[in-house]
């Protein structure tokens, strides 16, 4: 089974790994990986896999014009997902011209900027979860924005809800939680411990999956505790400036809240020429 290095250290950006097998010519299973695979609404990582030897790589071989030395072939990873057997598939942009071989060592390099944006947004969604007294009915995390859907038919006590969500209040509370710089941590707990501890289960914002044996609990100090297999930043200050978007009605009781990183919004506006590249405040 692929060793999930991102679970142990979400800040690991690269690793050496061996090719275990191919699901298809352009889907590679490695023995270990820093690439997060699509799950829990979070997109799969992108990056590159770099060959560690120039031997036998004739078709993919490139020569550095300055040094005359062979360059190591690099393959773009465009997505990562779980195979039915729960190994992680690294989906390559195109099948390598000169086939990679099983047992070959590669260096995996994450598109770190993209992943880090998702780590910040993912952690921000945990904060949002702690502020909205309703059950989560869906969600999605991409590098540019993240959202959660809430079932607002009843409040946290099961009473019909009469309080509309207030965007401005949510923005202020989120800002406060980020400023508080609360530590984010995780621990594994077995199902028996959860069964023996109904009080703990009641405090969880999302109920744990059954039948998995062990559950990973992610905690934001005095704020949020829930089972989650995603990647998070280590403290809420790292989440940085977050913008709460408009609250949308998606069905009779379903309310969708979208979050964006203020700096990525500023970057994309700068890219489109709407604000000067030196501005850091135009988006707030
Ligand atoms: Zn999470």
In angstroms, what is the span from residue 228 Cα to ligand 1's centroid?
A: 5
- Mean pLDDT, the chain, whole residue set: 85
Residue 254 has pLDDT above 80, yes or no: yes
Quick one: pLDDT at residue 283?
A: 33
Nearest to 94 by CA among 144, 117, 60: 60
The predicted pLDDT at position 95 comes to 82
Give the pLDDT confidence of 134-181 residue by residue, as tens digits. 888 889 999 999 999 988 877 666 666 666 788 999 999 999 999 999
Give 3-110's CATH code, choosing from 3.40.50.720, 3.30.365.10, 2.40.30.130, 2.30.130.40: 2.40.30.130
Query: Cα(56)–Cα(243) distance, rounded to whole angstroms?
Result: 50
User: Among 10-14, 71-75, 98-102, 225-229, which is the least confidently predicted range?
Assistant: 98-102
What is the distance in A from the centroid of ligand 1 to the CA of 155?
Answer: 22
Determine the distance separating the centroid of ligand 1 and the alpha carbon of 125, expressed in angstroms.
8
Q: How far is the CA of 219 from the centre of ligand 1 (A)?
A: 9
Question: How many angstroms separate the alpha carbon of residue 34 from the centre of ligand 1?
Answer: 17
CA of 211 to the centre of ligand 1 (A): 20
What pLDDT is attached to residue 76?
Answer: 95
Distance 231 CA to ligand 1 centre (A): 6
Ligand 1 center from residue 41 Cα (angstroms): 10
234, pLDDT greater than 90: yes
Q: Rounded to the nearest whole angstrom, what is the distance from the C-alpha of residue 124 to the centroid of ligand 1? A: 9
Instruction: Identify the CA nearest to 33 among candidates 53, 49, 55.
Output: 49
Query: What band does 194 get if pLDDT is binned at 50, 70 and 90?
Result: confident
Residues in the chain: 284
- pTM reported for the whole predicted model: 0.85
Q: What are the residue boundaries of the structural domains of the chain, listed by start?
A: 3-110, 116-271
> What is the share, in percent, of the chain residues with pLDDT greater than 70?
82
pLDDT in tens, 47-84: 999 998 876 555 555 666 676 666 778 899 999 999 99
| pLDDT (mean) for 12-29 | 93
CA of 70 to the centre of ligand 1 (A): 42
Q: Given this model, what pLDDT does residue 193 score?
A: 85
Cα(135) to ligand 1 centroid in Å equals 15
**Predicted local distance difference test score (pLDDT) of residue 94:** 86
Cβ(250)–Cβ(165) below 8 Å: no
Task: Provide the pLDDT for residue 252.
Answer: 82
The answer to whether 60 and 101 are in contact (CB under 8 A) is no
Q: How far is the CA of 40 from the centre of ligand 1 (A)?
A: 8
More confident residue, 199 or 248: 248
Sign, CA dihedral 83-88-92-95, equals negative
**Residues 9-38: what's their mean pLDDT?**
94
Q: Please tell me the predicted confidence (pLDDT) of residue 284.
A: 28
Question: How far is it, in rounded angstroms, from Cα 197 to Cα 216?
Answer: 15
Q: How far is CA 123 from the centre of its chain?
A: 9
- The span from the CA of 231 to the CA of 184, in Å, is 11
Q: Please give the pLDDT value at position 159.
A: 65
Residues 87-128 pLDDT 10s: 999 999 988 776 688 899 999 999 999 999 999 999 999 999
* Cα of 207 from ligand 1 centre, angstroms: 13
Q: What spacing in Å lies between the alpha carbon of 95 and ligand 1's midpoint? A: 33
How deeply is 85 buried, as exposed, middle or buried, from its count of CB atoms within 10 A (0-12, 13-18, 19+)? Answer: exposed
Q: Could you tell me the CA-to-CA distances from 218 to 126, 186, 205 in Å, in that order? A: 9, 4, 11
* Percent with pLDDT over 90 in the chain: 52
Ligand 1 center to residue 10 CA distance, Å? 12
Cα(14) to ligand 1 centroid in Å equals 22
Residue 281: predicted pLDDT = 36
Q: What is the pLDDT of residue 196?
A: 84
Q: Please give the distance, rounded to the nearest whole angstrom, from the Cα atom of residue 16 to the centre of ligand 1.
A: 26
Cα 181 to ligand 1 centre (Å): 17
Q: What pLDDT score does 253 carry?
A: 84
Give the three-state DSSP class for 128. Answer: helix
In this prediction, residue 34 carries a pLDDT of: 97
CA 49, 54, 59, 60 torsion-angle sign: positive
CATH architecture of 116-271: 2-Layer Sandwich (3.30)
């Amino acid at each position: 089974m692929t060793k999930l290095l991102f679970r142990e250290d979400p800040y690991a950006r690269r690793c050496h790994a061996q090719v275990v097998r191919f699901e298809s010519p352009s889907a590679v299973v490695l023995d270990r990986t820093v690439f997060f695979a699509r799950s829990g609404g979070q997109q799969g990582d992108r990056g590159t896999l770099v060959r560690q030897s120039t031997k036998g790589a004739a078709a993919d071989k490139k020569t550095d014009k300055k040094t005359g030395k062979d360059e190591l072939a690099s393959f773009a990873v465009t997505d990562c997902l779980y195979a039915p057997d729960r190994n992680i598939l690294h989906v390559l942009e195109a099948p390598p011209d000169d086939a990679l071989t099983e047992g070959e060592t590669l260096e995996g390099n994450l598109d770190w900027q993209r992943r880090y944006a998702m780590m910040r947004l993912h952690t921000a969604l945990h904060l949002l979860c702690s502020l909205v007294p309703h059950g989560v009915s869906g969600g999605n995390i991409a590098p540019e924005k993240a959202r959660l859907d809430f079932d607002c038919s009843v409040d946290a006590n099961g009473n019909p809800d009469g309080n509309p969500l207030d965007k401005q209040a949510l923005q202020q509370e989120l800002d406060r939680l980020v400023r508080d710089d609360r530590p984010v941590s995780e621990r594994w707990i077995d199902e028996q411990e959860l069964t023996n501890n109904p009080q703990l289960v009641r405090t969880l914002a999302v109920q744990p999956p059954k039948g998995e044996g062990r559950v990973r609990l992610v905690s934001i100090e005095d704020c949020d505790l829930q089972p989650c297999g995603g990647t998070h930043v280590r403290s809420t200050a790292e989440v940085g400036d977050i913008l709460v978007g408009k609250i949308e009605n998606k069905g009779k009781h379903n309310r969708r809240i979208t979050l964006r990183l203020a700096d990525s919004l500023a970057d994309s506006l700068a890219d489109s020429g709407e604000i000067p590249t030196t501005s850091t405040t135009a988006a707030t």
